[in-house]
Structure 1
Amino acid sequence: MTGWLGSALGIAILAIAVSPAVAGPRPTDVFFRYHAAINAAQLCEGWRLEPKGYADPEWSRIAADRHRMDRVIAQKTPGELSSTQRLGLMLSAKDISTRVIAESGCDAPRVQGWLSVFHSDLETVLAR
C-alpha cells in the first residue's frame, strides 16, 4: 500500500506542478485582445477595417481583410468559442477599447499593447 500511495502522491504533486505551465491564455482573453487591437488600429491609426454599409465602395476589400484577420484570430485562439461568445467578446472589446482610448489616449500602455498585437499578427495579412 505504501508503494501505491507514494506513487499516487507523486502523480498528484506532478500534476499540480505542471498545471500552471500547461495552462495557457484563456480563449476568451485571446479573442478579446485581437478585437480590441482591431478597434485600436481604427481609432488611433485610421485603418478602415469596417465597411460603412453594403454601398461602401471599399466593402469587398474590407470584407476580404476581415476574413483574413478572422483566420489569424482563429489560429491564435486556443479552444472553441461559440458564435454567441465571439459576438459578445467582439462587442465588449470594441466598447472597452473605445472607452480606454477616450479616457487614456492612444499612447496609453494598454492601447500600445493592442496596437502591437495588430501590427505583429494582423496587419501582415491585410491587402495593401
Structure 2
Amino acid sequence: MGPEHSAAAQLNIEQSCVDEIFGQQVVVTWSLPSRMRRCLPLTLYLWVYYGNGKVEKLTYEVNQSAGYRVYCLKGLEYKEFQGIISYRVALYSGNQEIVSRRHHLWMEVISLDSP
C-alpha cells in the first residue's frame, strides 16, 4: 500500500514525518500505602532482558508514594538490542526488597563469561 492511501493523504494533511520509528517501552507504575511514606525515598530497579542476550539494570529514585516511570527503546537502539524480551522490576528500601514483579518470560541469566 502506497503513501497515497494513508490516513493523512485522505485528509489532505502534510506528512512531515516520513521515517517510521520502531520501538518498545516498559511502563512501571506504583501506588504505595500511606504507611510506606515514612520509607521514602525508595529505589526502583528495572532489569531489561534484550533480544541480543544482554541484560541492563536501570536505577530510579522514588520520592513519591505514587507515580510512574517509562523506559523506551526505539530507533537504532531498538535494532541494536533486538527489542525487549522481558523485564523485572523491584522496589527497595535500602538493601531490603519491598516488592517485585516480573514479565512472565523473565528468568535470571547465568553468564558463562569469565570475570
* TM-score, normalized by the shorter chain, greater than 0.5: no
| TM-score when normalising by structure 1 | 0.21
Relative CO higher for 1 or 2, CA cutoff 8 Å, sep ≥ 6? 1
| TM-score when normalising by structure 2 | 0.22
More helix by share: 1
